[in-house]
Structure 1
Amino acid sequence: MKSKLTYLLICFLIIACNNKNSLSFESITIATDSCENCTSVQIEIPQATENTKLAKTINTALTGEIIALLNFDEESNAQNLNEAKEAFVNDYEELNGKFPEESMPWEATIKGDITFENNQIITIKLESYIYTGGAHGYGTNRFLNFDKITGKELYQEDLFNNLDEFRAYAETLFRKQENIPAQGSINNTGFMFETEQFYLPDNLGYTENGLLLFYEPYEIASFADGPITLTISYTEANSFLKHQQKP
């Protein structure tokens, strides 16, 4: 009888752990009404549906990132996506009221996709295009990494056993990929790293092919060069990663 109870208890614990790490998503869309010569906002992201710490962390992080992307005047008090959408439209209308002959309708398109998931980690990419006037809009990609065990968002310092050692290793691979001499300034071939020292991008994300380093346009090169990326296979990256992945 004891052995049967022990077996049932073990099964219960396994199921509980699996449920803690399980995730289900539904796609949600927030958008303005379609009309000619109007500011448009189109948001399509995955929303975690469970009532767990992990799901709440993911949804809160996504909402916060999108509110920041749509915050034109840095004075928005938006608390959710609908309020952020309305604030973006109102900011355009206010500007258009002051300069009706100069302002073109604004545009914001934001799409979220899961780029990596296993029993430890989930990474969601937010791809956005924002136009608020000028010659062209600005496209960005933001990678959000989450620890499925603790339910916490992982920031750059949370990813590595030793950030400085990984940075030095990444620089070696970056120089090789971009044909930059091993010695001398990292900007020898035309890059624009500040202080002429290599640094990691703001965006790092897990992918099926390895750890992705994603430099936005303007981050280390001209806008015309577009984003600069470096993918480091897990075979190479695992010795630096706190959350090692299968090669």
Structure 2
Amino acid sequence: MKKSISLLLILLLTICCKNEGNLTFEPLQLTGNSCKECPKIEINIPRALDETAIARAINSALEEELITLLSFDEEREIDKIDDAIASFTNSFKELKTKFPDETVGWEAEVNSEIVYEDENILTLIFNAYTFTGGAHGYGSITFLNFDKRKGIELENWELFEDMEGFQKFAETKFRIQEDIPQIDNINITGFMFERDIFHLAENIGYTEDGIQLIYNQYEVASYADGPKILALPYQEVNKYLKRIVKP
């Protein structure tokens, strides 16, 4: 019995140590107005509750992503989520008034969650889908990386100690994954890298399984091809990273 209690205490201490320093979040759900002439808007994001610089940086970054996604009013600057939702709604209503028989419903759906956190780094993934007419909507995935100690959002180049080396390594792995011969033009199988030169994805993030690169639709391939995702284990890329992760 004493042995069982000791093992339980060790397990609890291990869990507490593992979660020590993790930020506190609550789910934030936002929706648009519910009416026949209103677009469908559904937003589910985490909201950091800590009174710290990093919590403020995370909440600000998420707000900026939402405002950029939903703002359709070019005549005034929008700096609040509620105003961005109103902008999206009003733009649809105006179009519906002009073309009542031709305008189909607009949609905006956002889901965001934490995909990695340790004592140094926190990464959020921001999944967004919008439809504002046309043949199809557009979905995108964005990584938001944060330095918890400095309390700032990180640019991609700030993730790496050796970005040039990482790019060469990522290209080799990308070619293997997509069956592109190492010595041939990167676009020989139908990709659309600018100037026929491989480049890193705009979205790079930490995940539990390694560094992930996501090329969204149209970035290097057609819409029909969907997003291209390259996952690279930490044991293979730690030598390129500024913040090493133990596998």
Fold conserved between structures, TM > 0.5: yes
Aligned to 2:193: 193
Match of 1:172 in 2: 172
SS of the residue 1:65 aligns to = helix
CA contact (8 A) 1:213 1:230 kept: yes
Instruction: Indicate how the Cα distance of structure 1 residues 96 and 68 shifts in structure 2: closer, same or farther if over 3 A, else same.
Output: same
Correspondence list, 1:38-53, <5 A:
38-53=38-53
2: CA distance, partners of 1:108 / 1:39: 8
Q: Hey, what does 1:25 align to over in structure 2?
A: 25
Identity fraction in percent: 46
**Contact persistence 2:38–2:92 (CA under 8 A):** no
The alpha-carbon distance between structure 1 residues 38 and 98, as it changes in their structure 2 partners (threshold 3 A), is same
Structure-1 separation of matches of 2:158 and 2:130: 29
SS at structure 2 position matched to 1:88: helix
Shift of 1:68: 0.5
Counterpart-to-counterpart distance in 2, 1:76 and 1:218: 29
The whole-number CA distance in structure 1 between the counterparts of 2:225 and 2:153 is 31
State how far apart, in whole Å, the 1-side matches of 2:216 and 2:190 are. 16
Alignment of 1:60-99 (within 5 A): 60-99=60-99
1:207-226 deviation per Cα after TM superposition (whole angstroms, max 9, x unaligned)? 11100000001111110111
Alignment of 1:1-247 (within 5 A): 21-36=21-36, 38-247=38-247
Deviation for aligned residue 1:76 = 4.9
> Structure 1: where are the runs of 5+ without partners?
1-17
Give the total of aligned pairs: 229
- Deviation at residue 190 of structure 1 after TM alignment: 1.0
**By how many angstroms is 1:32 displaced?**
1.5
- Once the 2 structures are TM-superposed, how far is the Cα of residue 135 of structure 1 from its aligned partner? 1.1
For each residue in 1:115-154, what CA deviation from the matched residue of structure 2 results, as whole angstroms up to 9, or x when unmatched?
1111111111111110000111111111100011111111
Cα distance between partner residues in 1 of 2:73 and 2:199: 29
Q: Which amino acid aligns with 2:95?
A: L
Cα shift readout 1:85-109 (whole Å, capped 9, x = no counterpart):
1110011112222222221121100
Alignment RMSD: 1.6
Report the AA paired with residue 231 of structure 1.
Answer: A
- CA shift, 1:111, in A, is 0.9
Checking the alignment, whether the CA contact within 8 Å between 1:76 and 1:87 is kept in structure 2 is no
Question: How far 1:194 moved relative to its partner?
Answer: 1.1
8 A Cα contact 1:30 1:82, kept in partner: no
Q: What TM-score, normalized to structure 1?
A: 0.88
Distance, in Å, in 2 between the alignment partners of 1:211 and 1:188 is 26
Alignment gaps of 5+ in structure 2 = 1-18
Tell me if structure 2 keeps the 8 A contact 1:96–1:103: yes
Q: Deviations over 1:9-34 (max 9, x none)?
A: xxxxxxxxx99x54100111111233
CA shift, 1:169, in A, is: 1.2
Q: Deviations over 1:35-62 (max 9, x none)?
A: 3453111111000011110000000000
Mean Cα deviation higher: 63-72 or 230-239 = 63-72
- The 3-state SS of whatever aligns with 2:240 is coil
SS in 2 for 1:242: coil
Matches of 1:115 and 1:76 in 2, distance apart?
A: 34
Structure 2 contact 37–93 (Cα < 8 Å) conserved: no
Secondary structure of the 1:238 match is: helix
Query: TM-score under structure 2 normalisation?
Result: 0.88
Distance 1:147 1:134 in 2: 39
Residue 8 of structure 2: aligned partner: none
